[in-house]
Chains A and B, each alone.
Chain A
């Protein structure tokens, strides 16, 4: 283990803003994509079922 402490790890040699700004935004965008994907699936199925109801009636 090369990191002597958690604060050293978070500091990233003084460049923590750039490193964690990169990883943080990436993590957020991936999480966003997954959430949007789940939401699309749900709303798509809902809408398709509604259309099916209309087709039947």
Chain B
């Protein structure tokens, strides 16, 4: 079936090699466009002045940190149920990028919170569950590194990805379910956005840039993982011997 053609590491490896640079260029172009909108087109905010411009990193990073963990959970389900090695490789490839975006969300949030709320940190539901997400990422990475047998490590990591995925809707709905200092959703699928459209545009462009960046980096990383894990196969051995860089 054509659908599973690229489920083989051997066929996916060259595809990833061709796609990664495309997404890298897209990410760079969109990032420049997003920053242009964010710093040169979007006006001063009536309430927050200029410091709101942190939003153009904070929200895309937070969205990506949540989305990446859900994608890891998805690949974990696929890997555990179908036994496809490449699913686990993708899961492993996504984790570092997700962890970095999670940290960026926490860091930029703290720097935004200090001037606007008066505090770098509060233990409200959103911030606390986002911090938990950071520990889940670190836990996934640490566990998969710590277990010697790679196949067992894959499966153990998959459990963390699946169990931890429950935290993502908690983060998302935290501002509705609990009384939080973190503001509620300005952007939703069902209501009109409650922010100026030029600011929303900048945020969305940066979000797509972050997504393209994630794809580029993940595809590159999974190529290394594929070679490491498939090194005993003929095709990978040839690739290792012949690869320039």
B-contacting residues of A (Cβ < 8 Å)?
A: 1-3, 9, 12-15, 17-19, 21-23, 25-26, 29-30, 33-34, 36-37, 40-42, 44-45, 48-49, 51-52
A18 neighbours in B (Cβ, 8 Å): 51, 54, 111-112, 114-115
A15 neighbours in B (Cβ, 8 Å): 49-51, 115
Q: Are A33 and B245 in contact (CB under 8 A)?
A: no
B114 neighbours in A (Cβ, 8 Å): 18
A35 CB, min distance to chain B CBs, angstroms: 12
Query: Which of A22, A23, A33 makes the CB contact (< 8 A) with B100?
Result: A33
Interface of A is mostly: helix
| Bound CA–CA A36/B99 (angstroms) | 14
B241 CB, min distance to chain A CBs, angstroms: 6
Query: Which of B40, B61, B115, B227 makes the CB contact (< 8 A) with A45?
Result: B227
Q: Are A44 and B227 in contact (CB under 8 A)?
A: yes
B176 on the interface (CB 8 Å rule)?
no
Chain B interfacial residues counted at CB < 8 A: 37
Q: Are B43 and A2 in contact (CB under 8 A)?
A: yes
A17 neighbours in B (Cβ, 8 Å): 111
* Pairs A–B under 8 Å by Cβ, sample size 19: A13-B51, A14-B49, A15-B49, A18-B54, A18-B112, A19-B111, A22-B112, A26-B57, A26-B107, A29-B100, A33-B96, A33-B97, A37-B217, A40-B224, A44-B228, A45-B240, A45-B243, A45-B245, A51-B231
Max chain A C-beta neighbours (<10 A), residue from B54, B61, B103, B114: B54
B155 on the interface (CB 8 Å rule)?
no
Which A-chain residue is minimally distant from B218 (CB atoms)? A37
| Bound CA–CA A57/B243 (angstroms) | 21
Q: Are A48 and B231 in contact (CB under 8 A)?
A: yes
Q: Are B108 and A26 in contact (CB under 8 A)?
A: yes
| Bound CA–CA A45/B75 (angstroms) | 26
Q: Are A41 and B104 in contact (CB under 8 A)?
A: no
Q: Are B240 and A52 in contact (CB under 8 A)?
A: yes
| Bound CA–CA A12/B44 (angstroms) | 10
A40 neighbours in B (Cβ, 8 Å): 221, 224
B115 CB, min distance to chain A CBs, angstroms: 5
| Bound CA–CA A26/B62 (angstroms) | 13
| Bound CA–CA A40/B96 (angstroms) | 12
